[in-house]
Structure 1
Amino acid sequence: HVRFRGEAVLALVGDRESVESVTDDDLGLKWEALEAVRGWERALSGKLEPVQSQIPDNILARGFLKKSDVEKAFSESDIVVEGQWTTSAVEHGYIEPEAGYARKIGQRLEIFVCTQTPYMDRDEVAQVMGLEPEQIRIIPSAVGGGFGGKLDLSLQPLVAIAAWILERPVRCIYTRPESLSSSTKRHPVRMSAKAGCNRDGKLTAFEYHGDFN
């Protein structure tokens, strides 16, 4: 099933006029609307179907760092302040949307694409294609703005698969609506923080917890 609105379910490959002549009704897709998961508590309840089978609790990553005795440090601090904050998702809004092309050269793929992470792209495209990383060459173009929004894959596997099957160059440029709906965003965050300092303003203790959605 589709995991989020904007996730690719197919790629139309052809000349521009032919692709643009195809309507949604021509594709034969049928949609069944599923209830969306909304809110931090429900997302963290552990009672939901996994979005990805290898992550049963839907928590992609955890991090923990501890140094010294924070409670003792707070008790010895002259001033302690704490608070809770939330931030919203942020669209990066780069000037150039995702764009690139791929071509097959022998048993290798060459992908020219705007990206911030060519080596991550290489490894992830290889995983999608079932190829060795050495068979994938990523050539970064001018990024066209990124701000973290072009760290993840977008059209790279789409043009890669098409070029591999058709054995001819394939290019793709996302429209702005396609970019907005399918690209990753800065995560919404729910966080709490507590800080202690002495009367000279020197930080003596700090504790932080954040959930990144």
Structure 2
Amino acid sequence: MSTSRSLPGLQALPKHETRREQIREALRAAIISGELNPGTVYSAPTLGARFGVSPTPVREAMLDLVKEGLVVAQPNKGFRITEVSEEDLDNLAAVRLLIEPPTVRDITTLIPEADFPTLRSLAQDIVDAAERGDLVRYIEADHVFHLTLLGYSGNRYLVDVVAGLRSQTRLLGLTPLVQSGRLGTSAAEHHELMNFIEARDPVGAELLMRRHIGHVRGLWARRAEEQP
């Protein structure tokens, strides 16, 4: 991997975000996708040089990620990327299966029709990022879409829990999907989910969500596809 290049997708992130927030989201995506290796210690200056930004916002962003458990501060060295075992990833997916599909089922009839265009736009953001091969934007757009949907439950604790589970997930198969051009097919599932929601089909939405989370431990994780 190149040691000197611009942080992927950094300029494509929303304009209202601060530099620190942009870098934090990009680093989070790099961790989730495996671009930053689990167990490896990275210094802020090294990451700054690698991604073409100054060390200070990188250090600040990494301190934010320490709070999320994605990295561990190493005094006088930098930040170690947290390692997550296969068993941990299986358990994370299992908890998500307990929470997200039934929640999506329950909110399918609650989402106002007036909100459909906005949700469609968020789903399209995921597809657009996949077509560009921009994993930073893909992971961020996916995060926004799903947490926005779950927000219709009216349960902020549920949304916070799922956000934490998603941050701990590792999707090491995304880069090969980008290289093969198959990420767009997976991204299109978000429009398929919207089809069920717009049709007020809670059973279809729930089943789609189960299949979607199955990809987390299958197609998107470089493993045989899981059958939830």
Identify whether the pair has TM-score above 0.5, normalized to the shorter chain.
Answer: no
Give 1 or 2 for the bigger CA radius of gyration. Answer: 1
Task: Give the helix-richer structure, 1 or 2.
Answer: 2
TM-score, with length taken from structure 1: 0.30
More strand by share: 1
Give the TM-score normalised by the residue count of structure 2. 0.28
